[in-house]
Amino acid sequence: MPLVCVCSPKGGVGKTTMAANLAYALARDGSKVLAIDFDVQNALRLHFGVPLSDGRGFVARSAEQYDWSQSILTTGGNIFVLPYGEVTEEQRISFENNLANEANFLPRGLGTVLNYPGLVIVADFPPGPGPALKAISALADLHLVVMMADTASLSLMPQIENHRLIGAPLNTRAGHYFILNQSDNRRSISRDVTAFMQQRLGSRLIGVVHRDESVAEANASQRSIFDFSPVSAAAFDIELISKRVISLLGISVGNGEMHTMLRSQ
């Protein structure tokens, strides 16, 4: 059950887009993938064709439903989605309190999926520190920190280096790596920040993704970048990142039948 957390100290940098397309890339490679949304924006599901009007999700039911896998939606392929869901403010606060105060809350909720052999889990988080990221970090195999090639992202690097995202080093298993998103060679600030990050992060920079309109267009049409624009620069960049993730996690394909675990939705 390799578990990858996609996070960032910065909002709007492409975490959800990256989590979704990484899930698609890993599934294309032959893994069964579960994409989990820990952000109240509930946007991850939209990358997998779940209709806007479908407000189902695990957070609303997490108080009484111990096993969150019961809220998994199937997408028709090798990808499964566990949406956050549309929740009231009371439900969100109660969920966050449970995450913060009950050590067993998250391991119990995710128990079934964490124990599913070979299932690769990609989790998307809201920006900055938060109870979900903190609670899941001990279970995570890999943290991917998404940054943009701009000075705002650069100014938040100390948040990672000083362990302010979860109050501890980000990952003690496969480690934590950075993705620099929306790099644009035509802009000098983007070139400069990209070069600076490359130097500062060294091998911790797992990939640079070009700013590419087809990414936003793929999002808008609820498709993966590989399906929407397979020869785009971003598709190539994200494919490369997924290969590195596969190698870091030591993923091998040919896993058990996920469908047997899932109730039909």
Report yes or no: 1 and 51 within 8 Å, Cβ to Cβ.
no
Cβ closer to Mg ion: 49 or 169? 49
Site for ligand ATP in 218-237 (CB under 6 A): 219, 234
Site for Mg ion in 2-21 (CB under 5 A): 15-16
**Phi (first) and psi of residue 209, to 5 degrees:** -110, 125
Shortest reach from residue 158's CB to ligand ATP, in Å: 19
Site for ligand ATP in 169-198 (CB under 6 A): 181-182
User: Which of 9, 127, 130, 131 is the binder for ligand ATP (CB under 6 A)?
Assistant: 127
Which ranges of the chain does DSSP label H, i.e. alpha helix?
A: 15-28, 58-61, 89-101, 105-109, 111-114, 131-137, 151-155, 157-161, 188-201, 213-220, 225-228, 233-249
Shortest reach from residue 241's CB to ligand ATP, in Å: 11
Measured CA to CA, the distance from residue 42 to residue 46 in angstroms comes to 8
Cβ closer to ligand ATP: 22 or 249? 22
User: Which of 2, 14, 57, 207 is the binder for ligand ATP (CB under 6 A)?
Assistant: 14
Please, what is the end-to-end C-alpha distance for the chain in angstroms? 22
Half-sphere exposure of 152 (CA within 13 A, CB side): 9
Instruction: Work out what residue 17 binds among Mg ion, ligand ATP, none; the CB cut-off runs from 5 to 8 Å by kind.
Output: ligand ATP
Interface region with ligand ATP, contact rule CB under 6 A, candidates 28-36, 57-65, 200-208, 209-217: 209-217
Report yes or no: 13 and 156 within 8 Å, Cβ to Cβ.
no
- Residues 6 or more apart whose Cβ sits within 8 Å of residue 188: none
**Interface with ligand ATP (CB under 6 A):** 11-17, 39, 41, 126-127, 181-182, 209, 211-212, 215-216, 219, 234
